[in-house]
Amino acid sequence: MNITSIPGGVCAARGFKANGIRCGIKASSKKRDLALIVSEKRCAAAAVYTANLVKSAPIKVTKAHLADGHAQAVICNSGNANTCNANGVEIAEGMSRLVEQYTGIPASDVIVGSTGVIGQQMSLEPMERGMEELAAGLGDHSDFAEDAIMTTDTVPKEAAVEFEVGGVKCRLGGIAKGSGMIHPNMATMLVWVTSDAAITPEMLQRAVSEDVKTSFNMVSVDGDTSTNDTFAVMANGMAGNPVIDREGPDFDAFCAALHAVTVKLCRGIAKDGEGATKLLTCLLTGAADEATAKTVAKAVICSSLTKAAMFGADANWGRVLCAIGYSGATVDVEKVDVSFRSAAGRVDVCRGGAGIPFSEEEAKKILLEDEIDILVDLNAGAASAEAWGCDLTYDYVKINGDYRT
Amino acid sequence: MNITSIPGGVCAARGFKANGIRCGIKASSKKRDLALIVSEKRCAAAAVYTANLVKSAPIKVTKAHLADGHAQAVICNSGNANTCNANGVEIAEGMSRLVEQYTGIPASDVIVGSTGVIGQQMSLEPMERGMEELAAGLGDHSDFAEDAIMTTDTVPKEAAVEFEVGGVKCRLGGIAKGSGMIHPNMATMLVWVTSDAAITPEMLQRAVSEDVKTSFNMVSVDGDTSTNDTFAVMANGMAGNPVIDREGPDFDAFCAALHAVTVKLCRGIAKDGEGATKLLTCLLTGAADEATAKTVAKAVICSSLTKAAMFGADANWGRVLCAIGYSGATVDVEKVDVSFRSAAGRVDVCRGGAGIPFSEEEAKKILLEDEIDILVDLNAGAASAEAWGCDLTYDYVKINGDYRT
């Protein structure tokens, strides 16, 4: 399949505009805090949400709005998670109505997202004040929208691709925020993807539900599954391709394009994990089945001790073995091989579950890079998996020791 | 039941002696690294071990030695975990034979423990050199033994009690090591308990297996389940009580004494978690059943974000709610109450799943103490649970960023 990276994030696909402004939700901050993404045409829309029993008010409202499989806009604030609030649903509905008032898109076609502190009362007032400016400035501003949904994120996470469906060029692009409280289960923090492909709501939901299993569900920063995770895709059909309404090559092309974007966003989220200095990728091969591969890969990138060792560029592979052992998967630990790899080279450290001699100096050089692959071969089958995480650093503690002030 | 705290650790019970020396397993360290505990008489003995599929060689050897329900000595080193080594079992058997050679206790009655780095070759040589000194110095030296099994531990963890069985005064005491890689599943790091009570091996195993469910299995420092976790109890019967060979008041008295000691060791392990400045106790009440209570309590004390907030004395209770929500237990989150409590007072922060007004200043004062209770009431039943953890600090990262050098 021919998939080409292009610039533009959520504005790469035809008919989508975005904007982000500072309306003052977090009084003490000078950063943008309110984002809007709109489509010229009504879109097929699908989403997956956090598996946390505590769910944000925006998720409750978005679920209701997406019940008919369609949407046309996303409104999203940072600075307050709108979760565990007495007036949460009222605020989220109010945000939808503001979109209707200033863009004409029905409130029931609006996806709502919020990110920030849990359990603080929220007011609609700053958004009421900022909405005119936000709507008036809509344009090719994926970057402003991305900026407005970031919290402790330090770099923007966006991606877009061009691909073909039935000989017609389609585009698909997304933005993501997420840096802490990242251990998604069925979805991740906030990910907004747009496409101009024509696809039915049913096939879009299937693509989204399938995609998360090998994208956002394989990312972890800190093991904490957020209350607000939402991954939503809107496809407006403006590319003019034959509508994707069944399985087959066209659906596969769409799924591949979606995965190209989501994997890039996943790596971006992991690398920008709170306080992180390194992206860790566990490449798990030789598993008996896919479930084992995923469980083991995720256990490795979730291990606090492995994460801290990677921060220190310490080839302490025993911690990788330890994580494999407690992962819960059935593994013959006496068959396991482990290597570390980066732009600086590759070092084999464990064969058949036991240590082998290696140069500590060489290993250090490899682990001082900022993108590390942890290669694990279970030597028990043909299934594989990939999981993304980051190192555990002083700054993670600093950021989270006093997040609210 | 009348249970009185007494000094003496593993030497509190009649007939037990201990010692600890530096034999040089970790060449660069000046600390003690080899411990020995022996009983005058052969003991009923029982143990539980890590659920990690990767198991230390000492565990393999200890399991074989305890197959007949008896033991008479513990030998334990720090500085090398003797795990994922080609020659691991040979070394662990060699350690048992050294005990036989210098004390006359059969090698098959020796419990072996090791703690330190995983996956490094180990030599018997330093232990061969030190063994004579170790055996010659046996005495009322629980503290030396404790010192010799510590790694990143900063304070000794020991406890002992006196209790009555059939009108006869019995004693039971233990020492524990454990500071990182602490998230026990069926057992914890290294815990050695001795008693002079008379009890059959069967009843002792039952007491141990039951005890861990509400003691060491409810402790977590970093979510990493070690490969070496072992909790073993030896009871030599020298108190002269009627042998405990069935359920009833005598068995209950023994279990209560055991629990008094293990809970104290649990709190000690959690408070001395790597880098920790605070002991966190989650007191979970109002659960529909015990499994729910345990799952939720453990999720709270395992949450990296909650742990970091406690380090910062930040009453960010939304993270507690978040952890409850992703714990996997079935909970009606709109009924949950949360409060924080310490020696400085108590502050209620959440009622019915939503925030309530509280004084941030007062909360800060409470959270600046070094022992914090997180009180969670699910308001859904009568079951309860208690779990122990610690805060997440810069020093955890520092200790684990370069543990091997």
Read off the CATH number of the domain in which A386 is found.
Answer: 3.10.20.340
For helices B318-326 and B290-302, angle between their N-to-C axes, nearest 10 degrees? 130
The DSSP string of A171-239 is: EEEEEEE-SSS---SSS-SEEEEEE---B-HHHHHHHHHHHHHHTGGGB-SSS---S--EEEEEE--TT
Structure tokens that stand for A269 in this block = 């989220």
Confirm if A262 and A160 have CB atoms less than 8 A apart.
Answer: no
Q: What residues have CB less than 8 Å from A28, skipping those under 6 apart?
A: none
B404–A314: do the CB atoms touch at under 8 Å? yes
Number of residues that this document lists for chain A: 405
Looking at the structure, tell me whether residues B84 and B203 fall in a common domain: yes
**CA proximity to B231, closest of B49, B16, B92:** B49
CB contact under 8 Å between B333 and A54, yes or no, is yes
Distance from CA of A25 to the nearest CA of B (A): 18
Same domain, yes or no: A122 and A191: yes
- So what's the pLDDT on residue A170? 94
Domain edge (last residue) among A253, A271, A289: A271
The verdict on A256 and A286 lying in the same domain is: no
Q: Are residues A244 and A290 in the same domain?
A: no
Put simply, the answer to whether B120 touches A355 (Cβ < 8 Å) is yes
* Paired strand residues for B282: B374, B387
Contacts of A399 in chain B (CB under 8 A): 308
CA dihedral B244, B249, B252, B256 (to 10 degrees): -110
Q: A119, B54: Cβ pair inside 8 Å?
A: no
* pLDDT at res. B60: 94
Torsion on CA atoms B8, B13, B14, B15, rounded to nearest 10: -90
* B54 and B128 assigned to the same domain: yes
Minimal C-alpha gap between A84 and chain B (Å): 5
Nearest of B100, B129, B173, B153 to residue B34 by alpha carbon: B129
Q: Are residues B149 and B248 in the same domain?
A: yes
CB neighbour burial string for B181-205, b if at least 16 within 10 angstroms, e if fewer: bbbbbbbbbbbbbbbbbbbbbebbb
Question: Which residues in chain B have Cβ-Cβ distances shorter than 8 Å to A305?
Answer: 180-181, 222, 224, 400
**A359/A98 Cα distance (integer angstroms):** 62
CA B342 to CA B358: how far, in whole Å?
Answer: 16
Q: Do B227 and A118 touch (CB under 8 A)?
A: no
Last residue of a domain, one of A271, A293, A327: A271
**Three-state secondary-structure class, residue A66:** coil
Picking from B118, B224, B322, the nearest residue to A304 by CB comes out as B224
Contact assignment for A185 to B314 by CB distance below 8 Å:
no
Distance between CA B44 and CA B318 in Å, rounded? 48
The structure tokens listed for A179 are 């840096």
Distance CA A76, CA A36 (A): 7
Cross-chain residue pair A402–B314, CB shorter than 8 Å: yes
Residues of A serving a catalytic function are 188
Q: Identity (one letter) of the amino acid at A389?
A: G
| Count of C-beta atoms within a 10 Å radius of residue A237 | 22
Q: Do A84 and B181 touch (CB under 8 A)?
A: no
C-alpha A194: how far from its chain's center? Answer: 14
Strands (E) across B238-382 are located at 279-287, 337-342, 345-351, 354-355, 371-377
Task: Report whether A37 contacts A151 (CB < 8 A).
Answer: no
* Distance between B309 CA and the closest CA of chain A, angstroms: 5
For residue A339, what pLDDT is reported?
A: 98
Within 10 Å of residue B78's Cβ, how many Cβ atoms?
27
Half-sphere exposure of B50 (CA within 13 A, CB side): 28
B51: closest chain A residue by CA:
A326
In this prediction, residue B185 carries a pLDDT of 56
pLDDT of residue A122: 92
Closest C-alpha to B304, from A295, A302, A312: A302
A331: nearest CA in chain B?
B53
Same domain, B249 and B393: no
Question: Do A43 and A234 touch, CB atoms closer than 8 A?
Answer: yes
8 Å CB contact of A305 and B181? yes
Q: Which residues pair with A274 in a beta bridge?
A: none
In chain B, which residues have their Cβ closer than 8 Å to the Cβ of A319?
Answer: 118, 181, 224
- The set of residues, in sequence order, having a beta carbon less than 8 Å from that of B213 and lying 6+ positions away, is none
**Which of B226, B326, B402 has its CB closest to that of A185?**
B326
Q: What percent of chain B has pLDDT over 70?
A: 97
Give the residue from chain B lying closest to A50, CA to CA: B326
Q: Please state, as a whole number, how many other Cβ atoms lie within 10 Å of the Cβ of residue B288.
A: 16
**For residues A302 and A304, what is the distance between their CA atoms, to the nearest angstrom?**
6
Which residues of chain A lie closer than 8 angstroms to B81, CB-CB? 318
Cα A306 versus chain centre, distance = 22
Q: Which of helix, strand or coil describes residue A43?
A: strand
The nearest CA of chain A is from the CA of B192 a distance in Å of: 23
Of B54, B61, B88, B85, nearest to B75 by C-alpha is: B61
Closest C-alpha to A50, from A245, A197, A185, A198? A185
Please give the ipTM for the structure prediction.
0.78
DSSP designation for B244: B
Which chain A residues are closer than 8 Å to B399 by Cβ? 308
For the beta carbon of residue A155, count every other beta carbon within 10 angstroms.
10
* pLDDT for res B89: 95
Q: How far is B96 from chain A (nearest CA, A)?
A: 23
Distance between CA atoms of residues B398 and A389, nearest Å: 19
A219: CATH: 3.60.70.12
pLDDT of residue B62: 95
Q: CA A370, CA A332: separation in Å to the nearest integer?
A: 31
Q: Which of A180, A185, A319 sits opposite B305 (nearest CB)?
A: A180
Distance separating alpha carbons of residues A107 and A92, to the nearest angstrom: 10
CB contact under 8 A, A322 and B226: yes
Spatial separation of the C-alpha atoms in residues A390 and A219, rounded to whole Å: 9
C-beta atoms surrounding A301 within 10 Å = 27
A223, A314, A398: residue with CB nearest B402: A314
User: What is chain B's mean pLDDT, rounded?
Assistant: 90
> In terms of DSSP H, where are the helices of B272-317?
290-302, 304-311
Query: Cβ contacts (< 8 Å) between A85 and chain B: which residues?
Result: 354-355
Pairing of strands A34-49, A230-235: antiparallel
Residues A169 and A219 in one domain: yes
Tell me the pLDDT tens digit for each residue of B153-167: 888 889 999 999 988
- Say what the pLDDT of residue A403 is: 54
Beta partners for B244?
B199
Provide the domain limits for residue A349: 279-401
- Claim to verify: residue B264 and residue B359 sit in the same structural domain: no
Residue in A118, A217, A322 to test binding to B, most B beta-carbons within 10 Å: A322
pLDDT in tens, chain A (405 residues): 689 999 999 999 999 999 999 999 987 788 899 999 999 999 999 998 887 888 899 999 999 999 999 999 999 999 899 988 889 999 999 999 999 999 999 999 999 999 888 888 899 999 999 999 999 999 999 999 999 998 878 888 899 999 999 899 999 999 988 777 777 654 456 888 999 999 999 999 999 999 888 888 888 877 777 777 888 899 999 999 999 999 999 999 999 999 999 999 889 888 888 889 999 999 999 999 999 999 999 999 999 889 999 999 999 998 999 899 989 899 999 999 999 999 999 999 999 999 899 999 999 999 999 999 999 999 999 999 999 999 998 888 888 776 554
Give the Cα separation of A389 and A385 in Å (integer): 14
Query: Based on the domain organization, do B192 and B299 belong to the same domain?
Result: no
Check whether residue A151 and residue A286 sit in a common domain: no
Torsional class of A90: left (φ above 0), alpha (ψ -120 to 50), beta (otherwise): alpha
The closest alpha carbon to A320, from A306, A334, A307, belongs to A306
Among B217, B227, B305, B314, most A C-beta atoms within 10 A, so best to mutate, is B305
Output the pLDDT for position B121. 85
Percent of chain B whose predicted confidence (pLDDT) is above 90: 68
Strands B190-195 and B168-177: antiparallel
Chain B closest-CA separation from residue A355 CA (Å): 5
Q: Which pLDDT belongs to residue B190? A: 82
- Interface with chain A: mutation pick from B90, B224, B398, highest number of A CBs within 10 Å: B224
Rounded to the nearest angstrom, the minimum Cα separation between A226 and chain B is 7
Minimal C-alpha gap between A329 and chain B (Å): 9
Q: For residues B287 and B332, what is the distance between their CA atoms, to the nearest angstrom?
A: 10
Closest CA–CA distance from residue B22 to any residue of chain A (Å): 25
| Domain shared by B146 and B190, yes or no | yes
Q: Which residue in B80, B306, B392, B397 has the most chain A C-beta atoms within 10 A of its own C-beta, making it the best mutation to test that interface?
A: B397
| Rounded average pLDDT over B299-308 | 92
Contact B118 A322 (CB under 8 A): yes
| pLDDT higher at B188 or A143 | A143
Number of domains in chain A: 2
The size of the A-B interface in CB pairs under 8 A is 208
Could you write out the three-class secondary structure of A73-136?
A: EEEEEECECCCCCCCHHHHHHHHHHHHHHHHCCCHHHEEEEEECCCCCCCCCHHHHHHHHHHHH
Chain A residues whose beta carbon lies within 8 Å of the beta carbon of residue B121: 355
**CB neighbour class for B67 (10 Å; exposed up to 12, middle 13-18, buried from 19):** exposed
Q: Yes or no: say if B389 and B282 are a contact pair by the CB < 8 Å rule.
A: yes
Contact A118 B304 (CB under 8 A): no
Q: Which residues contact B290 (CB under 8 A, 6 or more apart)?
A: B383, B384, B385
Q: Give the separation between CA A354 and CA A115, rounded to whole angstroms.
A: 45
Mutate to test the interface with B, among A49, A82, A84 (most CBs of B within 10 A): A84
Determine whether the interchain pair B314/A392 forms a contact, defined as Cβ–Cβ distance below 8 Å.
no
Question: Between chains, do B118 and A318 touch, taking CB under 8 Å as contact?
Answer: yes
Quote the crossing angle between the two packed helices A57-65 and A88-103, to the nearest 10°: 50
- pLDDT category, B187, cuts 50, 70, 90? very low
Query: Does B151 participate in catalysis according to the annotation?
Result: no
Taking an 8 Å cut-off on Cβ atoms, the answer to whether B314 and A401 are in contact is yes
Chain centre distance of CA B5: 18
- Residue A21 in 3-state DSSP? strand
Catalytically annotated residue among B62, B188, B194, B225 = B188
pTM: 0.81
Q: How far apart are CA B310 and CA B312, in angstroms?
A: 5
Which of these three, A239, A271, A303, is where a domain ends?
A: A271
Cβ distance A84 to B355 less than 8 Å, yes or no, reads: yes
